[in-house]
Structure 1
Amino acid sequence: MSFTPDVRRRTEGLVFLALFALTIPAANWLIQHAGTTCVPHGPCLVPVLPGLSAPSGVLMVGVALVLRDLVQRRLGVAVSALSVLIGALLSAFLAPPALVLASAAAFLVSEMADLAVYTPLARRRMVTAVIASGVVGLVVDSLLFLWLAFGSLDFLAGQVVGKAWMVLLSIPFVLWLRRRDERLGLAAA
């Protein structure tokens, strides 16, 4: 079965949107249940560099930043912005009670910062847009979350590095997608 470019773009956009939405419960589950070390009444940690650990949920935050870009590429800015607002509400609903404000605010502000950086760059330089917006988003998310949740930036390095790994690991897929889009004549939304 052959899809028209519009049907393919919309279908892929809905898949990216579903995956974006799933990163929120996945991050909340990971931080509470999966890691090489789980701190009693605290987060589960994973190593992100030798001697540097981060809460395991940061891995999903890095993925979410890239997926938000892909949602925008396929479904447009309005759908992407709406998905961020809904994601912030979902994040507040799923976060542990002590982290509701920090989780929702960090998600909302960092994803909107990601959108603001990605949008002007995306049409001409998709890979650069994904990297630049991801870096801005992960730094904003880390700073805001840590400050609101703990009043401290002690774990900033681990948070930034963990999220950056996920953005960097996505680049081969983003390159493949861009090349395939050019080959199939799939214009970005």
Structure 2
Amino acid sequence: MKLYLSLAAYVAAIVTANYMTSNYGLVPVGLGLLVTAGTFAAGFALLARDFVQRYGNVRWALGAIAVGAALSWLFASPGLVLASTVAFAAAEMVDLLIYTPMRKRGFIPAALLSNVVSAPIDTVLFLWLAGFPLTLAAVEGQFIGKVLWATIVPLALFAAAKRLGGGEGVSSTSPTHAGLRP
């Protein structure tokens, strides 16, 4: 069930990011920074991908990218969908190199490090391939949006919920025997 919820969240985030960016382009977020309108959804997608790998594997994640790309064709321009698909796939390969071996050290450190590394790769590839300007304001804005608001904040909430609920552990990859003790 958790795998299917993670897959649904991942696909929905991909489609939402593409729809928002296709319809609203670059938007100011303050402090002179710009983001594509789908940045927060794209950042959430990077985190959702880690949950897909946590409960499934890389094949599920790549399949979700394909489904997200196919559905995005209904809502976004072909060039934007292609740029998004390439960027998400490249970020997934980076994630495979970082998140997968780091899972042994815990979900949160693995997700955090993989997203900090994959977010700028996803950002630069996407902006370049989609024809958006590769300016410092756009790259910084997207990095802050993807890493701070769409990765660090949700991971902190995830950790707090697990600690308070005494549920599934945040420091192990095995959901069956890794509970945190309150």
TM-score under structure 2 length normalisation: 0.78
- Letter matched to residue 45 of structure 1: V
* 141, 148, 158: which one aligns with 1:158: 141
Unaligned runs of 5+ in 2: 177-182
Which residue in 1 is equivalent to 2:174? 187
Which residue in 2 is equivalent to 1:12? 2
Question: Residues of 1 paired with 2:90 and 2:51: CA distance?
Answer: 18
Which residue in 1 is equivalent to 2:78? 97
Question: Residues of 1 paired with 2:79 and 2:62: CA distance?
Answer: 26
**2:157 is aligned with 1:167:** no
Question: What SS does the corresponding residue of 2:168 show, helix, strand or coil?
Answer: helix
> Structure 1, residues 125-169: CA drift from partner, whole Å, max 9, x if none?
221111111112211111111122227421212221211121111
**Structure 2 vs 1, CA of residues 101 and 25 (structure 1 numbering), >3 Å: closer, same or farther?**
closer
- Letter matched to residue 125 of structure 2: L
**2:127 is aligned with 1:146:** yes
Question: What SS does the corresponding residue of 1:54 show, helix, strand or coil?
Answer: strand
Q: What is the deviation of 1:68? A: 0.7
**Structure 2 vs 1, CA of residues 58 and 93 (structure 1 numbering), >3 Å: closer, same or farther?**
same
User: Identity of counterpart residues, as a percentage?
Assistant: 33
* 42, 45, 67: which one aligns with 2:27: 45
> Structure 1, residues 59-110: CA drift from partner, whole Å, max 9, x if none?
0111011111111111233323432344344446643134233122112111
TM-score under structure 1 length normalisation: 0.75
Unaligned runs of 5+ in 1: 1-10, 34-41
Runs of 4 or more off by more than 6 Å in structure 1?
Answer: none
The number of residue pairs the alignment matches comes to: 169
Listed as ranges, the matches of 1:76-115 within 5 Å are 76-91=57-72, 94-115=75-96
Question: Residues of 1 paired with 2:118 and 2:74: CA distance?
Answer: 21
- Kept in 1: contact 2:9–2:48 (CA 8 A): yes
- Letter matched to residue 144 of structure 2: V
